[in-house]
Homo-oligomer: A and B are copies of this chain.
Amino acid sequence: MLPAAPITKTQRVRIDLGDRSYDIDIGADLIGRSETFADVPRASTGVIVTNEVVAPLYLSTLRGALQSRHERVLNVVLPDGESHKQWLTLQTIFDHLLEAGCDRKTVLYALGGGVVGDMTGFAAACYMRGVSFVQVPTTLLAQVDSSVGGKTGINHPMGKNMIGAFHQPLKVVCDLDVLRSLPDREFSAGMAEIIKYGPIADMAFLDWIEDNIDALMLRDPMSLAHAVRRSCEIKAQVVGADERESGVRAVLNFGHTFGHAIEAGMGYGAWLHGEAVGCGMVMAARLSQALGLVDAAFVTRLNTLVKRAGLPVVAPVLDPSRNADRYLELMRVDKKAEAGEIRFVLIDPPGHASLRPASDAVVADVIARSCQPA
């Protein structure tokens, strides 16, 4: 078992991207302290973008910490949910910024989960062709996933995250205290991405998660601090080698090809992203097994851990009359597809992932088996 660093001290993960480098701070009681934001430029205006669920919980706390950094701190409160991750909501942010006369030095703060982070980041990428932003992720998923990588964007009726930009934050603040208010279902969704880092990069980390899954599910701060830090480190390592996702970075999408099909097929918001990824990982592991890359024990092990994290492991039927075809259709518009060929992130061997195509027949069989309760 790896030692978890003590929670009292804020931990820092450096994301090394040349002149776009930034730090992720991980610790307790961060968002209410002005020192947390000491390295953010003293722009005249700071704008907190959040949603109607998070605003009552943390908006005034963050506002308080930012008062000393900016002459005025404005806020934009968006509706909650993945269904609002679209142009009209983005337009709301632009309207606010322009009405308030925000200039190019304005700093945006994304206070919320992945949806708020992706939209705020994309707004920052596009407003006056680019302003700075700080990520303050309030969900476990956002802390371990969207806080590293600079991916921002919105959905299109024909596909998730189809419109977006790579735009790195000035810094990321992962306050572990805010995870206490997270609903169980959302907490589990975050666990999916933490578990993900094991099979694709670090089986010792998977061992550690298995050993600490009970403490993690009880939201023990010391266990969480380690899980968040190690997840960010692994993601940083992968992203550092491939900032613009031309190759190796795609391994981070383990479980996402099936997962995106589930999300799109069920209608965005029906399944949480992390739930779809959790189930998608089990499906991708099964596909890896079907291609002879991993053994049945590995699939069972992953299935068990995903289940213990409170995540679904039985895939939904998207269309009773042509279920596999529907999955395949949805996966073919995935951004990783090339000229219509789906490239799956497969485990080969455990602790390492690679991109490969697979025949429709084999994939269809995996889908059929995954839709049946084990």
Q: Quote the shortest CB–CB distance from A288 to chain B (angstroms).
A: 24
Question: Beyond the given A105-B338, A129-B164, could you list 7 further A-B residue pairs with CB under 8 A, ordered by the A residue number?
Answer: A44-B339, A87-B87, A103-B339, A105-B339, A125-B165, A126-B163, A127-B162
Note all chain B residues with C-beta closer than 8 A to A156: 94, 98
We find that the number of chain A residues with CB closer than 8 angstroms to chain B is 38
Q: Say if the beta carbon of A33 comes within 8 Å of chain B.
A: no
- Are the CB atoms of A338 and B103 closer together than 8 Å? yes
Alpha-carbon separation in the docked complex, A319 to B288 (Å): 69
Query: Which secondary structure characterizes the binding site on chain A?
Result: mixed
Residues in A lying within 8 Å of B, measured CB to CB: 44-45, 87, 91, 94-95, 98-99, 101, 103-105, 125-130, 151, 153, 156, 158-159, 161-166, 244-245, 332-333, 335, 337-340
- Are the CB atoms of B126 and A164 closer together than 8 Å? yes
Q: Could you list 12 examples of A-B contacts with CB < 8 Å?
A: A87-B87, A94-B156, A98-B156, A98-B158, A104-B335, A105-B339, A127-B163, A128-B162, A128-B164, A129-B165, A129-B245, A129-B335
Number of copies: 2
- Are the CB atoms of A163 and B94 closer together than 8 Å? yes
Note all chain B residues with C-beta closer than 8 A to A44: 339
- Are the CB atoms of A130 and B166 closer together than 8 Å? yes
A156-B94, A332-B101, A337-B103 are known contacts. Are A130 and B162 too (CB-CB below 8 A)? Answer: no
Alpha-carbon separation in the docked complex, A303 to B165 (Å): 42
Most buried by B among A45, A161, A165: A165
- Are the CB atoms of A128 and B335 closer together than 8 Å? yes
Q: Quote the shortest CB–CB distance from A298 to chain B (angstroms).
A: 31
